[in-house]
Amino acid sequence: MAMYGYSERGIINSLLFTIGNDVSLMNEFISLINIPTLFEQGKPKSYDILLEQSFSQFGDADLVIIMHYENNQKSKVLFIEGKVKTYQKKHWSIQKQYEEFNKEGKIKKNTSNLFFQLHLKKLLIDNAEKISNNEIVEEPWYETQRSIGKNDIVKNAFNKVKNCDAYYIGLIPSTQNEINNFVKSNANSDTVTILNSMHFLTWHLVKEFCENKELEAVLLNFKYNEQQIF
C-alpha cells in the first residue's frame, strides 16, 4: 500500500510516521537542525510528537517535538513551521517573508507568515504563567489580545509544552546559502526578537537525510509533491 500526503504537512506526516518509535533515527533527524544545546544534556530518552496541533489564538503548529531526558532534566520543545515554494511559484523568499512580517500596519491575524506563526509560539511560551492562570495575553507587536481558549485538547497540548525550554524552527525551501545571507543582512535588525530566537532547516537537507536513510515512504511523497516543496 502506498500512502500519499499533500504539500508540507504530507511530507511531515510521512516522515514522522516512518520514524515511528525509532528514538535513534529521531535523534539523527533532530541533529539536522544543528542546535548543539539540544544534546548537551545527553540524548533524549523519549519524544512526544504533536502533529498539526492548534494553540487557539496562538496559531496552529505544523509539528511540535518534545524531547524528554534522563534524571528528570528539563524537557525541550521544538515548534516547527513548514513552508513550501508551491507549484505555481518559481521561488520562495525568506527575505520577503521577513519584510511582510515587519511592514507597517497590522498583518492579518490569521496569516500563515513564517515569522508571525513562530512569533505567536514564542508569545505562548513567554506568557505561559499568565495563560495557565487563564489571563489574556497582550500581543504588543500587532496590538491584539490573545488567549488559549476553552478547548481541553488545546489546553492539554499547552500543558505539555509550557514548562519546556523552547526552540522555534522554520522548515523552509531556501538553500543554506540563502539562509546565511538572510541572517547576515538582518543581524542588526531592531525589530521583535523572534529572529534572534529562530533556527532554520532546509527541505533540501531533509530530502537528503531521507535518501541517506532510505526512507522510501517519505521519498515517495517528495516525488508526489515534486515542484511543490522546493
Give the pLDDT confidence score for residue 108 in this predicted structure: 59
C-alpha closest to that of 148 among 50, 52, 57: 57
Give the pLDDT confidence score for residue 187 in this predicted structure: 79
> What would the grid cell of residue 74 be?
528539563
Could you please report the per-residue DSSP string of 52-97? EEE-GGG-EEEEEEEEE-GGGPPPEEEEEEE----TT-S---HHHH
In whole angstroms, what is the distance from residue 223 CA to residue 125 CA?
36
Give the pLDDT confidence score for residue 131 in this predicted structure: 97
Q: Residue 47: beta bridge partners?
A: 67
Give the pLDDT confidence score for residue 104 in this predicted structure: 61
Task: For the chain, give percent helix, strand, coil, nearest 5.
Answer: 45, 20, 35
230 residues of the chain, pLDDT tens digit each: 899 999 999 999 999 999 999 999 999 999 999 999 999 989 999 999 999 999 999 999 999 999 999 988 999 999 999 999 999 999 999 999 998 888 765 555 548 899 999 999 999 999 999 999 999 999 877 778 999 999 999 999 999 999 999 999 999 999 999 999 999 988 776 555 678 889 999 999 999 999 999 999 999 999 999 999 99
CA 197 to chain centre: 12
In whole angstroms, what is the distance from residue 150 CA to residue 152 CA?
6
Give the pLDDT confidence score for residue 72 in this predicted structure: 81
Give the pLDDT confidence score for residue 32 in this predicted structure: 97
